[in-house]
A and B are shown apart, each in its own frame.
Chain A
């Protein structure tokens, strides 16, 4: 697992899956379908992304195709930081 994936996993587990062990989260698990993140959780996630990776998440980018699993998020961050 690369650094970005590890960072995302750590953030999700610590902030949204308090009672879960590390292997409880698969990297392709949908946050939406599994009820891991709700509407206010997305805002927390976005604040963290902007601070941690020094990126600007545009309102148009708040869609599952960018944010809805560890792998999807990792790819999104890569696209943003590579811009």
Chain B
């Protein structure tokens, strides 16, 4: 990789080195690096023709793989800021993100037709492109000249929205330099090379999915993409057929593979590595995975969107010796465990993980207060609590915030509580995450109804379905007479969480 890279330089360079090699494989399509780069250039030209200015935001709301990837790199090449939106959305959620990001252009596709009028009604939106493919199919030659916009390493490349604790989403601003630094660290840590071929089941709009995309494009590897994990056996068939060398998932992905798939009947002769991010791996799961994949290196990783995103990795050789650990900082990252006053915590003492390095975000989009809260002297205070053992390995002990981690999602209980409180007969509600074998945490709502009123769980679920994306809908509603509270009236969520 060359010095001074921008994010889209990864694609340019791989297209130069491996023009005919397949970059993306879906169930319907195989695209070479040359073809992918050509599509990207056409999208870039399309945006320039629309008079896109440097730093203008462009949203992508699509589940079409090739369209997403070409649009993403095309936006960056045109000097825009890519805003990949969660496809599991609702009118309310989408309106909030479009209004906050003030996107000039939105790339979307027919599955999201029901949102077209909402998107068009946004003041900032100048163009809604609903047929991304037509841009490269209809336009003629690939533009031969370089794009007119000069993009620098310190420009913002991407905004990724995450859940804030209040339920108001926060836009994480990542510079080209942040993403490039983290991509290079990951490539080094995992030892990725151009012969690698990863099975990609995570969506690109997540920071983890985004980093898998960038790290494999950077080395000229291939991505076998199927972002629907409804039937894991279908993915396993595809892994064998395509001879994948790597697989990346979150804890729930692996729990599903081990507990609800026929993975034990498969043989993966080319598989070399597995990565898991999102949480440490339980000893039981680590043991089961090692038995199923005896010669495969299993990397447990930890990160945050604010860190573009990866921060630490557990060397596969230490999986048993340091079970439950998230490892040590990856190359180019410094991790400290600090007391609230910023002094280092002693060995074994619980403190907050503080990260620094070129990968740390520029800040939250138009949110200086939140930025100031987490970025201090260029260091990121992650909100994750951990301890370090005598050998320097990190172990997560909890989170400062009440965010629920369900599957690959971080969810603010407050947002769900607000939606449930809209129902007129609800007196009080508390939403917590409770341990779940597959999801890590499932969403449980404890509800108190007003005197002389009744409500049934199904009605509450129906209301949530209408107003929240499906992954935020509670898995269980429990009616109780009153919520447990402290003497000062604060709801004792810890009691509900463990009940």
Question: Is A63's CB under 8 angstroms from B233's CB?
Answer: yes
**Which residues of B are interface residues toward A (Cβ below 8 A)?**
111, 228-234, 252, 256, 260-262, 265, 407, 438-439, 458, 461-462, 465-466, 470
Interface of B is mostly: helix
**Hey, which chain B residues are within 8 Å of A3, CB to CB?**
none
Q: Does A43 contact B (CB under 8 A)?
A: yes
Residue in A19, A37, A59, A67 whose beta carbon sits within 8 Å of that of B466 in the complex: A19
**Hey, which chain B residues are within 8 Å of A32, CB to CB?**
228, 230-231
Q: Tell me the bound Cα distance from A49 to B461 in angstroms.
A: 22
Q: Tell me the bound Cα distance from A47 to B231 in angstroms.
A: 15
Write out, one digit per residue, whether chain A residues 19-46 have a CB within 8 A of any chain B CB (1) or not (0). Answer: 1000000000001100101111111001
Distance in Å: Cβ of A26 to nearest Cβ of chain B: 18
**Which residues of A are interface residues toward B (Cβ below 8 A)?**
14, 18-19, 31-32, 35, 37-43, 46, 58-60, 62-64, 67
Chain B residue at smallest Cβ distance from A35:
B111
Q: Tell me the bound Cα distance from A51 to B228 in angstroms.
A: 26
Residue in B252, B265, B462 whose beta carbon sits within 8 Å of that of A19 in the complex: B462
The 10 sampled A-B contact pairs (Cβ below 8 Å) are A18-B465, A18-B466, A38-B230, A39-B252, A42-B230, A42-B260, A58-B262, A59-B260, A62-B231, A64-B234
Question: Is A59's CB under 8 angstroms from B261's CB?
Answer: yes
Q: Tell me the bound Cα distance from A46 to B230 in angstroms.
A: 12
**Hey, which chain A residues are within 8 Å of B439, CB to CB?**
40
Q: Tell me the bound Cα distance from A35 to B229 in angstroms.
A: 11
Q: Tell me the bound Cα distance from A55 to B234 in angstroms.
A: 22
- Starting from the known contacts A38-B229, A59-B261, 18 additional A-B residue pairs (CB-CB under 8 Å) come to A14-B458, A18-B461, A19-B465, A19-B466, A32-B230, A38-B470, A42-B260, A43-B438, A46-B260, A59-B260, A60-B233, A60-B262, A62-B233, A62-B261, A63-B231, A63-B233, A63-B234, A64-B231
**Hey, which chain B residues are within 8 Å of A40, CB to CB?**
407, 438-439
Question: Is B260's CB under 8 angstroms from A18's CB?
Answer: no
**Hey, which chain B residues are within 8 Å of A58, CB to CB?**
262
